[in-house]
Structure 1
Amino acid sequence: MRRAALSVLAFGLAAQPSMARAEDSQGPTVTVTGKKKQVVTKLDKTVHDVSNLPRAANGTAQDVLQSTPEVSVTADGRIAVRGNAQVTVLIDGKPTAMMSGDERAVALPTMSGTDIASIEVITNPSAAYNASGGAIVNIVLKRNRKPGAHGQIQGSATDHGLWNIGASGDVTSNHLSMHGSLGLRRDGTLKLRQSSVDWNNPATGQAGQTLQSSEVFVRRVVDSAAVGIDYALSDADSLSLSARYSARRSRPLLDTLSEGRSGAGQTIYHRISYGPNEQADRGAVLSYSHQDNGTALKAMVQRSGMAGLIDKSFSDVFIEPARATAYSHGATKSARHLTQGTIDWSRSSEHGHWGMGLDIEDKVEDIDNYQVTVDPLTGAETRDLHTSNVYTVKTRLAAVYLTDQIRLGKWEVLLGGRAERMALEVSPAPCVMQTGQWQAFNPSLNLKYDVTEKAGLTLSYRRSLQRPDPRDLNPNTTYVDAQNLSRGNPGLKPQLLSAWEIGADLDTLELHRNVSAFYRASSDTVTDARSFADSVLLTSKQNGGRARSAGITGTLDWKGDAKLHLGVDGGLYRVLLFTPDLPGLVRQDGMAGYLNLRAGYSANHDDVSLDAHGQSKGISPLGRYGATSSVNLTWKRKLSKTLSLTVNASDIFDGSKRTYQTDTNTFHQAGFDHFVERRIYVGFVKKIAP
């Protein structure tokens, strides 16, 4: 069997690519901190214990991720790992509907950070993971299996009438363990946007300028609940059932000022909208585990879903030229359903262990876009046929993987291969259904050499396919705002990605150091295709680009004693892009980098922590973006054995403003997005024990 496995994997290193799922490596681990293992380095991932992170006590999942080494999170929810923006977010090792697509940026800042036990960072996933072509961040939730009953209540509040409160608890007796949580949040964010577009039409010679600015405070009401049951059938067998639900609602008053100038004259108006916007997420997981005599079997089936509503109704109040107010009703309704079943099997061998698994996943996305103009006198509605459409995207993924982990002296190697078949079906009404199928074999390699007991060298490789976002496959036009329309491309193909990493680790009792270099490449890269007509920017998607990036990253963590902890990680890398435009491929070359600083001090009853983050300016396809920063301070004061006071100060210097610009053959766009995160939360944590 070992020889057959190695033959398949060797063939895979010369074959075409795939994707993957999660399996823990069972090799030796290296602990970075002293008494408690705050950081554990494994062959294919790094595990960060955040269960006692002061910022998590009354923070969000986005706060926890931002405090995690090697992970960068912007105010608008964009995640990068070591500069890699292609990131898959899992919860307890599984994909969920709410962590897919644009909804992830909404879910992370409304998910409680106190529910998180650890963060697993996988920069170059093995074939045992469904990474969709990039890095993985796995959010592992808390499960207290200590005998007896335990509970906790926490809450915090800040200005603008924003507050949150939550409760969690668990009960364990004999073979049965139950846990659950409830949460209620009143969140809010001030969003400032500004954009300027200078456009021209080479065919007609027409040219003009469009300006747009807006300011809105988005208030959200968030309800969440979770429950889980674990039952030990025997010493070797266990059964688990868990379910989660969350709902978000907002009704923002958005006033967008639009100014258009062209040869035909000038138009100035306010576009006013009120919402509402809603989203509900739900999911359930049933899993079975068997471990006995070096053999492990895990089986899981899950069902998750998301339903959302974005109301796009608006009124246009004209300033110049003077005319009657125009009205429009519209909305985008979306639903996503994910059904997944997996089986993982592993067995210990003389020099390590090997495993195999099966992954079947069905995802259905239903989108309903509706836009009409309203006669102000009669109330009669006229449907906009260009932006009203209904379509469904169905994706079926079937994959098998094989891994072999071998330990020979100072060498440790994890070989992996994943065969995958994907079927895609786009059925827009009233157009003709379109289908597509892809097959791939994705190899992976993780290698480690122990120079000494405390120092080692690592090498990893992964090649895989990244599927298009289902919403990018819509062949119809969708209204975004006064200045933007979007249109998908049902002919999009997956883009091919490959990545190499080589690194060195040095661990002592007080110090952990890591330096690594990487090279990443993509072909058939999906990029934006933009055009400008009737003072509106139309953005679509296309294959045909190429991208290359190479750089160096480093991490340094020092824990001198039980009181003080210091850490820093950062990276510097070069990016090379080839993006299609009217004259052909446009070449761009630029440098970018990031830097994260961490400091923590514990003394008697006080815990103080500081984390600072900086992201440099960089290039994007046919454009560039500006630098951002964030500095956060947390203080936790233990008032008694069961009661603590928390103070969280976020983005102290208000560095979240992000500028951008785009230059194409037909237009130049410049602007900024500013999500104001500067805020001070004061709260409490109350532990309950019998």
Structure 2
Amino acid sequence: MKKTITYMAICLLTTFLCYSDGFAQQILLTQKIYGTVKDSLTHETLGLITIKLKTEKDSLLKTTISKTDGRFSFENIEVLKYHLVLISIGYEAKVVVINLTDDKTTQDIGVIYLSKRSQNLNEVVVKSDRPIIKQKADRIVYDLQADPESKVNNVLGMIHKIPYLSVDANNTVLMKGNSSFKVLINGKPSGMLTNNLTEVLRSMPASSVLRIEVITIPPAKYDAEGMAGIINIITDRKINDGYKGTLNANEGFPPGQDIGGSFTAQQGKFGINSYGGLSSYNSPQANYSNKRVTTDTDATVLNQAGHNQSDSKNGYIGVELSYQIDTLNLLSGNINVNGNRYNGSSTQTSILTNSAGLLQGYDLDNTNNGNRSGIDAAINYQLGFRSMKNTLLTFSYEYSYFRSNAYNDEVINDPFNFTTPDYMQTDKEQSNEHTIQVDYTHPIGKVNMETGVKAILRNSNSNSGYNSIDSASNLFESVPAFGNVFRYIQDVFGIYNSYQFSLKKWNFSAGLRAEETYVDASFVSTGTNTIQNYFNVVPSIAINKSFDDNSSLSFGFAQRIRRPSIYRLNPFVNRSDPDFISSGNPNLQPVVMNNLQLGYSSGGGKKVSVFLGADETFFNNLELPVTNVNPVSQVTTTTYQNAGKGGGAGLNFNVNYSPAKVYNLSINGDIMQYFIKGTGDIATDKMDMLAGHVSLSNSFKFNEGWSSNLNFDFYSKQPRSIQVTANAFATSSLSVNKELIKNKLFLSAAVNNPFTKFRNSITETTGDDFIQTNDNQVYFRSFRCSINYNFGRLKSDIKKNRKGINNDDVSNGGEL
């Protein structure tokens, strides 16, 4: 397989050289243009006006400042069509179209007037009106800035309004009902999103996000990982020389406090974009119960009851920097740091009985705590070519590091026929990875070609320990049989080639990606290891047809891969509950999924806009949690196996209705039909289930800056795996908002689920010879107040590389 990758790399290099024959072309005849800027009312000359020279495709070439007498000029420019962009505080931004000809060496633009009204010279006033939802060939784009609720909410609170996305009862973000997807921020991966997605989105102000892209048919340039697709969060980076920022503070009763913000600045060729947040999440004491009934010849009943509580603290910060060396060279980089600390406790009573009476019993006091932290840093260099417009060559490197520590302390009281002594468990994990990537973009006529190569080198390890108290010395001693040292190496080598072109109202995108994966898993404690080597060729195609009424129709096909994460591979056995233990499986294989998609969007600019998306998915070798009961020890064990085949069909829908300026109704939801059959240890299990959810968002706008939001969400019974289902639930919320300073300062107060203090989260697990029910009480009612503040003023777009590393090749986790 490595020979195949080498051969494809040679083909890529050959292609690059073939398209590079124009690098030495001569530069066209250069000219000089000049003009004067004046006030449209007083006709006074205007100095210190920022003037940008851009190509017809909006690429910045040069920037200058008008002199005190209003004059400006640009020299040594080619004979092309340009846009002059004039920006100044207190004046309307203006774009002037300039057509140069080769019969003049200098050209006088004349006087350009800045005012609140349109003038001559083909000037264009910049506008921002656009629909909330836009459909492209391979993705749905949700414009948060066009949604008034984004001014007073966090990003997590906006997710339920976005097509294909939802949030379950545990605040887990789902895409097409699936938690296996990748999340990027500004097109780049970040450990803070991989490891703390819910916490980061909860403390991230929605006002700091420009849009969210839900990429359901990822192009070949993206890694093949993520069964459902990719979520790309684009922060508000449209800035001008100066600074801009957002601040958000949120207090919940419960769960706790959130503080978040963003800051963007640019001065000349330097730009910075940053975001960060802190959060404290408290889960008050609540009751829970577990009941397991075995149905074999010696039937037993296990009953557990108790209460638990927990709290966590989270923090993250990300910084992106850019420096435009000149019009052809751009250097950028980013660094993200995140951390999490948690602790919890629980008390439970366990009783095991059969037809003869009590078999076993004990009380268990559990104390647990842990921490996680990570850092990732990347640098990108983008090279343009003067003789070949829109041709780009990008070199990227990224380093990522993550570690976690977990501790469990178990105290056994009042045991009956239960001999396990008090014990402690520890699990320490860490991973680091290096990524090198080269991307090349080149237009061939009306076709845009993209190609590139990538290497990801990962090294992970875990060290788990088990210490049991010695009855004689009353000291904890290590039990090597229950510990393990695990080392995991995964190298992924990829190459891709894709093409995009437009034909009138048709848009086409097609590509092919090849990935080879090498895995070496070593068990130091036992002296054994597992080696895997697999090769995948992943196609993708997306077609979009737009119509005169702004509606569009799209079709797509993509093949995706889910590689098992270290959480599912780690053989560490979690014994925090002696009757229910769980572990990973280092022999898991990747899952290949095929997805067909059809979408329709009615477009924007109407009272009613509609989006419909239909999907069909099919797969083999799906990795699933498999649960069994040991008839001898009466212990329930859960691990992961490649034990499922089948698929699903779904319909996603989104409707926005605005009958008047003071009211808007948004309906977002999905209906999914799952059909999965078990293999191996669960060959007799199958899932044939219809599930769905719907979210209704009502927005009211009143006078003097007052507004209100009334939301309802309903989730039907949901599958967690082929053996596990979760009960249905409904949520409601009401918020009242006040705009204190126009477009700057907002206050909001909200109540969630005012009529229900607790919710019972019930999951049911079934097997050939047992039924298990877990009933967890969740604090449901909460109150929230928040303040959002926007500040700053800017005048030019920050620069970013059009290419960069996006490691979307590791599963986000989840049951299905």
TM-score by length of 1: 0.86
Q: How many percent of aligned residue pairs carry the same amino acid?
A: 18
Find 2:243's aligned residue among 149, 154, 178.
149
Bigger mean CA deviation after superposition, 648-657 or 63-72: 648-657
Work out whether residues 630 and 652 of structure 1, in 8 Å CA contact, stay in contact via their aligned partners in 2: no
Match of 1:630 among 731, 750, 754: 731
Larger deviation, residues 462-471 vs 627-636: 627-636
For the pair 1:614 / 2:714, whether they are aligned, the reply is yes
Question: Residues of 1 paired with 2:521 and 2:204: CA distance?
Answer: 32
Does structure 2 retain, via aligned residues, the 8 Å contact 1:62–1:109? yes
Given that residues 351 and 358 in structure 2 are in contact (C-alpha distance below 8 angstroms), is that contact kept between their aligned partners in structure 1?
no
Pick one of 248, 270, 286 that aligns with 2:363: 270
User: 1:612 corresponds to which letter in structure 2?
Assistant: F
Q: Confirm whether residue 496 of structure 1 aligns to residue 596 of structure 2.
A: no
Partner of 2:163: 69
- What's the CA shift string for 1:494-516, capped at 9, x where partnerless? 12210111232222412322223
**Residue 483 of structure 1 corresponds to which residue in structure 2?**
579
Q: Which residue is 1:468 aligned to? A: 564
Contact 2:247 2:260 in 1 (8 A): yes
Give the distance between the partners of 2:700 and 2:266, measured in 1 at CA: 34
Match of 1:287 among 372, 380, 384: 380
Aligned to 1:523: 620
SS at match of 2:602: strand
Match of 2:411 in 1: 315
Report if aligned partners of 1:480, 1:486 keep a CA contact under 8 Å in 2: no
Kindly tell me: are residues 335 and 402 of structure 1, through their superposed partners in 2, closer, same or farther at Cα, counting changes over 3 Å?
Answer: same
Aligned partner of 2:629 among 502, 524, 532: 532
Superimposed CA distance per residue, residues 75-128 of structure 1 (whole angstroms, 9 cap, x where no aligned partner)? 324332233443222232233334447x54565546665543321111232323
**Does residue 218 of the first structure (1) align with residue 310 of the second (2)?**
yes
How much does 1:443 deviate? 0.7
From 396, 400, 403, the equivalent of 2:491 is: 396
Contact 2:347–2:363 (Cα < 8 Å) also in 1: yes
1:399 to partner: Cα distance = 0.9
CA contact (8 A) 1:186 1:219 kept: yes
Q: Select 1:331's aligned residue among 420, 426, 445.
A: 426
How far apart are the structure 1 equivalents of 2:697 and 2:715?
15
2:518 aligns to what? 423
Q: Which residue of 1 aligns with 2:329?
A: 237
For 1:406, give the aligned amino acid.
F
1:471 is paired with a residue whose SS is helix
> How many Å apart are 1:472 and its aligned residue?
2.5
Secondary structure, in 3 states, of the residue corresponding to 1:507? coil
Q: Deviations over 1:413-444 (max 9, x none)?
A: 21111111011111122231211011010111
Cα distance in 1 for residues equivalent to 2:663 and 2:380: 40
1:356–1:680 distance in 2 versus 1, CA, 3 Å: same
Moved more, 233-242 or 261-270: 261-270
Unaligned runs of 5+ in 1: 1-7, 9-25, 27-32
Give the match's secondary structure for 1:683.
strand
Note if contact 1:474-1:490 (Cα within 8 Å) is conserved in structure 2: yes
Residue 264 of structure 2 aligns to a residue whose secondary structure is strand
Q: Which runs of 5+ in 2 are unaligned?
A: 1-7, 9-56, 58-126, 794-816
Q: Which amino acid aligns with 1:662?
A: T
Q: CA 1:611–1:129 in 2, change beyond 3 Å: closer, same or farther? A: farther
Residue 773 of structure 2 aligns to a residue whose secondary structure is strand
Please name the residue that 2:805 is paired with: none
Relative to structure 1, is the Cα distance of residues 425 and 112 closer, same or farther in structure 2, using a 3 angstrom cutoff? Answer: farther
Q: CA shift at 1:464, angstroms?
A: 2.7
- Counterparts in 2 of 1:310 and 1:77: CA distance versus 1, 3 Å: farther
Contact 1:273 1:314 in 2 (8 A): yes
- Shift of the alpha carbon at 1:380? 2.3
Could you tell me how far 1:546 is from its partner in structure 2? 0.6
Aligned to 1:15: none
Residue 781 of structure 2 corresponds to: 678
The answer (yes or no) to whether the contact 2:203–2:260 under 8 Å persists in 1 is no
1:13: which partner in 2? none
Aligned pair partner of 1:554 in 625, 637, 653: 653
Letter in 2 for 1:576: F
- The answer on whether the counterparts of 1:97 and 1:337 sit within 8 Å (CA) in structure 2 is no
Q: Distance in 2 between matches of 1:362 and 1:112?
A: 34
> Which among 603, 625, 645 is matched to residue 747 of structure 2?
645
Contact in 1 for aligned 2:163/2:652 (Cα 8 Å): no
How far did 1:312 drift? 0.9
**Residues of 1 paired with 2:686 and 2:417: CA distance?**
45
RMSD: 3.1
In structure 2, the partner of 1:343 is 438
Within-5 A mapping of 1:105-144:
108-109=201-202, 113=206, 115-130=208-223, 131-143=225-237
Secondary structure of 1:226's aligned partner: strand
Secondary structure of 1:118's aligned partner: strand
Of 414, 421, 437, which residue of structure 1 is paired with 2:533?
437
**Deviates further, 265-274 or 453-462:** 265-274
Contact 1:219–1:251 under 8 Å retained in 2: yes
**Structure 1 contact 312–332 (Cα < 8 Å) conserved:** no
Distance between the aligned counterparts of 1:212 and 1:532, measured in 2?
A: 16
- Please identify the structure whose Cα radius of gyration is greater: 2
Where do 1:300-311 residues align within 5 Å? Answer: 300-311=396-407
Q: Pick one of 550, 553, 559 that aligns with 1:457.
A: 553
The offset of 1:523, in angstroms, is 0.3
| CA pair 108-193 structure 1, distance change in 2 beyond 3 A | farther
Matching residue within 333, 344, 351 for 1:259: 351
Question: What is the distance in 1 between the residues matched to 2:781 and 2:565?
Answer: 32
Report the alpha carbon displacement of residue 367 of structure 1 after superposing the two structures with TM.
1.7
**What TM-score do the two structures reach when normalised by structure 2?**
0.74
Shift of 1:651: 4.5
Match of 2:108 in 1: none
| Residue aligned with 1:294, SS | strand
CA contact (8 A) 2:406 2:428 kept: yes
Quickly say closer, same or farther: Cα 1:226–1:136, change in 2 above 3 A.
closer
How far apart are 1:476 and its partner, in Å?
5.5
